[in-house]
């Protein structure tokens, strides 16, 4: 049976709707960027922090912990990474963490760091997504690691997890990754500079009352 005119019209409207949704999604994603920045000869899109909720922006907060100064603690439930500083303070960064089925917890150390790293999808990821390339060059606008990667090892063995930048600023504050800890690109650059090889990392479900409550976020001090 041939298509009725009504079917054609509805089909056309559905196609238009799909295009509109795709354009709206692209526009929403693009709004997270503003201008460009050059870093070590690579030009990348700057995060539009005016679009970012204040609690996800890098800032100094009160933090009470028995962990040594310089330790990184990740609170996966609340999507924060803390770099412990002196005087019971920490630099807090908003992060994206592993989605359901990809969460992990425990201790590790940053035993390798890379500036504009090459990305090589692990075999299990390529099994799930065979369309992925074997690797993506460092500095490529399609490289999901962004400008920096800090590789997490445990007892000298690579965990497969990284602290790194992101192509999706809108994923910060969400369960979105395959287990790696995502950061705004500017924050990944900042943390990279502060953390030498051997930095201890602790990934936890949450940190209870070690840091200030959400109600006190407005009292935190921004980090330039």
Annotated catalytic residues are: 164, 180
Distance of alpha carbon 148 from alpha carbon 171, whole angstroms: 17
Q: DSSP code of 137?
A: -
Phi-psi region of 155 (alpha: psi -120 to 50; beta: other; left: phi over 0): left
Distance of alpha carbon 55 from alpha carbon 48, whole angstroms: 15
Note whether 159 and 172 are within 8 A (CB). Answer: no
Task: Kindly report the number of other CB atoms within 10 A of residue 180's CB atom.
Answer: 24
Q: What are phi and psi of 81, to 5 degrees?
A: -115, 130
Distance of alpha carbon 163 from alpha carbon 141, whole angstroms: 18
Do the strands 221-222 and 181-183 form a parallel or antiparallel pair, or are they unpaired? unpaired
CA–CA distance from 222 to each of 45, 58, 183 (Å)?
22, 6, 16
């Amino acid at each position: 049976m041939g298509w009725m005119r009504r079917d054609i019209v509805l089909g056309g409207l559905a196609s238009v709707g799909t295009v509109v949704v795709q354009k709206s999604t692209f526009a929403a994603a693009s709004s997270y960027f503003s201008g460009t920045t050059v870093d070590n000869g690579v030009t990348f899109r700057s995060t539009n922090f005016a679009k970012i909720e204040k609690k996800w922006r890098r800032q100094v907060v009160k933090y009470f912990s028995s962990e040594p100064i310089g330790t990184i603690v990740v609170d996966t439930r609340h999507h924060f990474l803390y770099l412990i500083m002196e005087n019971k303070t920490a630099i807090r960064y908003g992060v994206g963490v592993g989605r359901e089925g990809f969460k992990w917890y425990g201790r590790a150390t940053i035993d390798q760091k890379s500036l504009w790293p090459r990305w090589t999808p692990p075999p299990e990821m390529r099994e799930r997504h065979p369309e992925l390339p074997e690797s993506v060059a460092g500095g490529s606008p399609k490289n999901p690691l962004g400008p920096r990667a800090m590789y997490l090892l445990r007892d000298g063995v690579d965990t497969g997890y990284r602290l790194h930048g992101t192509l999706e600023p809108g994923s910060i504050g969400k369960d979105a990754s395959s287990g790696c800890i995502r950061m705004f690109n500017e924050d990944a650059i900042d943390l990279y500079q502060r953390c030498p090889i051997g930095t201890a990392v602790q990934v936890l479900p949450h940190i209870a009352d070690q840091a200030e409550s959400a109600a006190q976020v407005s009292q935190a001090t921004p980090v330039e």
